[in-house]
Amino acid sequence: MDAIAVGGVTKTYRIGVGRARVREMLPWPADRWMKALFPQWWMRDTFNALEDVTLCVPRGTSLGIVGYNGAGKTTLLRVIAGVTSPSTGTVQVSGRVAALIDVVVGFHPDLTGRENVYLLGAVHGVERRSMATRVDRVFDFAEIGEAADTPLKRYSAGMIARLGFAMITALDVDLLLIDEVLAVGDASFQRECVRWLDEYQGSGGTLVFVSHNLSFVRNMTERVLWLDHGRVAADGPTAETLTLYARATESRDGGSPAHRPSDTRRLMVARGMLRWGAGGARVEQVHVEEGPEDGFLEIAMSYETTALDRAVFCIGFEDESGHEIGAAASPLLSLEGNRGSVRCTIRPLPFRSGIYFPVVAILSPDGSVRDRWRLERAVVIERDGEASIVNDFGPVQIPSVWVGAEARSISGTEDRP
Amino acid sequence: MIRRIWLHRQLVASLMRRQFQLRYRQSLVGVVWALAPPMAILGVGVVVFNKVVGVDTGRVTYSVFALSALVPWTFLANSVILGVPSVAESPHIITRLVFPRAVLPLSMIGVSLLDLTASIVIFAIFAYGLGDGLPLTALWFPLLLFIEIAFVVGVVLFGSALNVFARDVRLAVPLLVQLWLFLTPVMYPLSSVPDGMREWYLLNPMTGMVESFRRILVYGHPPELGVLTGAITGAVLALVIGFSYFRATEARFADVI
């Protein structure tokens, strides 16, 4: 039994405001007549947010949806939730649905948090009486009990985000649609949410999960759908689709191993997104070379310096969610001239299978960061056949030597005496 | 659609509660504002139509005469003013939650219905204080109110749906309601309208409405079918058009709002 069956769905939106709405306000069947009479006028200023999307989600399973911004992820979620209807195609959803689209929840900023929770319950058909007992649990979950009777407009962004997730814990649902909401909140709250979602899935709930945070997607879903420009680019087991997606992210950045800061990157520097630093020295170009079968990684960077004559070079790695995993630091090197280059080889790579983003940095001898640049190019590591019991314990493989009474390995090395 | 609305009746109740909570929150004199609209119009009526123009209301005190029509009128005006913008004002819930959109305007009509009780109380006070009290024909009230609710629901459903696509509607509403008030015999009797114009007046469903309310509440006559016909026709037409337009367009609200 499928919880969701989406068949050949296309969703067409109109661009712009104002007179384009005239076409929308015609009631059926007048809109059909106008479309037939003036097809060109009718289709002007339109774009397809979704094109021929087909998917089905069996009950009790979980699906992740990934894609670049504007790929149609939220639209797909809205269509499944029934907030908007598809232009063509069919959507069938069975079960009690709750959708958490955006973090901004609630009905009205002037109402208190408690009143907002009651209203959300009313939308989902939970009776006021049975809601009364759940409201306190919602605020306990969100850990904002003291703010229950404060108007929503006085909540901080973090509190609203917490309440938004906590609200769904009060509803009896068996199909949950979540759009990029775990990105907010601190780490401990995120853990609470993940724990709750695990329980929810354990009790047979169906989950559809949209996120840019690939590590969440990896942990929470069995299957992943990759949307690209409104079309299904891939649909399959999580590990497979995510690898395809990460490789595409790689080639999206030009596909070459060489990286030169472009004008857009400079803009990002100004916004503190991918690159920052005190200046005085900067990385000019980075060249990433992956060794055969992920055996090693060679990174060369050319630099330009205006104020430093000695520096420490650093190559660090972040995971998909931007957590810093570790770094390799050079010794204090003296720089000769204004330009030069350094080369670093990491061998063997201490990572398990996954997607990692290199960060290159130049530090002055006193430890201040002069230039720190997170590359958009990902390093994808696939270690086939290395699955072991502890494979999901973090991204780093720690090299180790073990001594003990029965230190004989049971598998793999038995042929060695 | 009706069945889905019925399933969400609890939501209608919650939305009405919200509207009440919100209305008087952060206001200084609160409930006084529920009584203000009929009293303010009554004040204007007393000055302009009673003292300046001097309309003939027969043996009935002018304020009782005017209030008997202000009871149904205020209900219409409140419903339209609250109900028409109600859908377009809630983009964040329309684009995120699934529920029959009609509960938004309907709950606003519900709120106006509660305000109606306030204006009935005022009317009763005036009727017993300045007039002969309520005649027995006041028992027709529920039937007339039923017809008026049907009319109001139709108008508000149509207006609130259209307003999603063209915000002009919301801008036009206060003006239209004001004009409508002057073109409806609320503050003056229908009998003072010249003969050639009276037929036109009866095309206005609210004319039949307020005249009938006035007959049962003040003069002690049962409603006159000839006058009420316009109101009933208007109510049926409004309900059919409003309901079908709302149903035909509600699926697109989330896309254009």
Q: Domain for residue A396, yes or no? A: no
Q: Which residues of B touch A24 (CB under 8 A)?
A: 165, 249, 252, 255-256
Phi-psi region of A89 (alpha: psi -120 to 50; beta: other; left: phi over 0): left
Specify which of A119-133, A279-293, A325-339 reaches the highest per-range mean pLDDT: A325-339
Of A199, A220, A250, which residue is a domain's last? Answer: A250
Where residue A269 falls among pLDDT bands split at 50, 70, 90? very low
pLDDT digits (tens, 9 = 90+) for B106-137: 999 999 998 898 889 889 999 998 878 888 88
User: Out of A23-27, A150-154, B181-185, which region has the weakest mean confidence (pLDDT)?
Assistant: A23-27
Domain end (from A198, A215, A250): A250
The pTM (predicted TM-score) of the whole model is 0.75
The domain total for chain A is 2
Chain A residues touching residue B14 (CB < 8 angstroms): 118-119, 122, 128
Confidence band for A27, pLDDT divided at 50, 70 and 90: confident
Contact call for A119 and B249, based on CB within 8 A: no
Closest CA to B60 of B188, B180, B184, B185: B188
Q: Do A262 and A296 lie in a common domain?
A: yes
- Residue A408 predicted with pLDDT over 60: no
Do A275 and A214 share a structural domain? no
A197, A218, A250: which is the final residue of a domain?
A250
Confidence of residue B206 (pLDDT cuts 50, 70, 90): very high
Is A210 among the domain residues?
yes
Query: Which chain B residue has its CA at the smallest distance from A27's CA?
Result: B248
At A270, list the tokens.
């100004």
Instruction: Answer whether residue A86 shows pLDDT above 80.
Output: yes
CATH of the domain at A119: 3.40.50.300
Q: Give yes or no: residues A54 and A198 share one domain.
A: yes
Q: Do A83 and B97 touch (CB under 8 A)?
A: yes
Residue A35 and residue A166 in one domain = yes
Q: Is there a domain that residue A306 lies in?
A: yes
d(CA B243, CA A413) in angstroms, rounded, equals 77
Beta carbons of B10 and A22 less than 8 Å apart:
no
Q: Say which DSSP state B54 is in.
A: -
State the number of CA atoms in the 13 A half-sphere of A250 facing the CB: 20
Range of the domain at A376: 258-381
The reply to whether A187 and A284 lie within a common domain is no
Q: What average pLDDT does range A186-194 have in this prediction?
A: 80
Q: Is B255 in CB contact (< 8 Å) with chain A?
A: yes
Cα B100-B102-B105 angle, rounded to 5 deg: 145
Q: Tens digits of per-residue pLDDT, A314-359?
A: 999 987 767 788 899 999 988 888 888 899 998 888 887 777 888 8
Q: What are the DSSP calls for B123-177, one per residue?
A: HHHHHHHHSS---GGGGGHHHHHHHHHHHHHHHHHHHHHHHHH-THHHHHHHHHH
pLDDT tens string B10-45: 888 888 888 887 777 777 776 777 778 888 888 888
Q: Which of A83, A110, A111 sits opposite B98 (nearest CB)?
A: A83
Spatial contact of A350 and A399, defined as CB atoms under 8 Å apart: yes
d(CA A95, CA A81): 11
Which residues in chain A are closer than 8 Å to B157, comparing Cβ atoms? none
Mean pLDDT calculated for residue range A174-186 = 78
In order of A2, A115, A166, B21, the CA distances from A135 in angstroms are 31, 9, 10, 19
pLDDT above 70 (res A383): no
Inter-chain CB proximity A83 and B8 less than 8 Å: no
Same domain for A237 and A94: yes
The backbone torsions φ and ψ at residue A211, rounded to the nearest 5 degrees and listed phi first, read: -160, 150
Residues A321 and A281 grouped into a single domain: yes
**Do A279 and A231 sit in the same domain of this protein?**
no
Q: Is residue A254 very low, low, confident or very high in pLDDT (cuts 50, 70, 90)?
A: very low
Residues from chain B contacting residue A81 (CB–CB below 8 Å): 98
CATH at A323: 2.70.50.60
Domain-embedded: residue A390 = no
Residue A315, CB-side half-sphere exposure with 13 Å CA sphere? 20
SS in 3 state form for chain A? CEEEEEEEEEEEEECCCHHHHHHHHCCCCHHHHHHHHCHHHHHCCEEEEEEEEEEEEECCCEEEEECCCCCCHHHHHHHHHCCCCCCEEEEEECCCEEEEECCCCCCCCCCEHHHHHHHHHHHCCCCHHHHHHHHHHHHHHHCCHHHCCCEHHHCCHHHHHHHHHHHHCCCCCCEEEEECCCCCCCHHHHHHHHHHHHHHHHCCCEEEEECCCHHHHHHHCCEEEEEECCEEEEEEEHHHHHHHHHHHHHHHCCCCCEECCCHHHHHHHHCCCCEECCCCEEEEEEEEEECHHHCCEEEEEEEEECCCCEEEEEEEEECCCCCEEEEEECCCEECCCCEEEEEEEECCCCECCEEEEEEEEEECCCCCEEEEEECCCCEEECCCCCCCCCCCCCCECCCCCCCCCCCCCCCCCCCCC
Q: Give the domain ranges of chain B.
A: 2-21+31-256
Binary contact (A108, B255; C-beta < 8 A): no
Report how far Cα B192 is from the mean position of its chain's Cα atoms: 23
- Does one domain contain both A121 and A264? no
Does any domain span residue A103?
yes
Question: What's the angle, vertex CA A11, arms to CA A5 and CA A14, rounded to 5?
Answer: 165
What's the pLDDT band for B72 if we cut at 50, 70, 90?
very high
Are A69 and A176 in a shared domain? yes
How many residues does this entry show for chain B? 257
What is the Cα–Cα distance from B87 to B250, expressed in whole angstroms?
Answer: 10
Q: Are A349 and A250 in contact (CB under 8 A)?
A: no
A343 and A298: one domain? yes
Q: Is the peptide bond before A348 cis (omega within 30 degrees of 0)?
A: yes
Rounded CA-CA distance A109/A327 in Å is 45
Within a domain: A416: no
- How far is the alpha carbon of A110 from chain B, nearest alpha carbon, in Å? 7
Q: Do A271 and A299 fall within a single domain?
A: yes
Instruction: Identify whether A312 is part of a domain.
Output: yes
Within a domain: A410: no
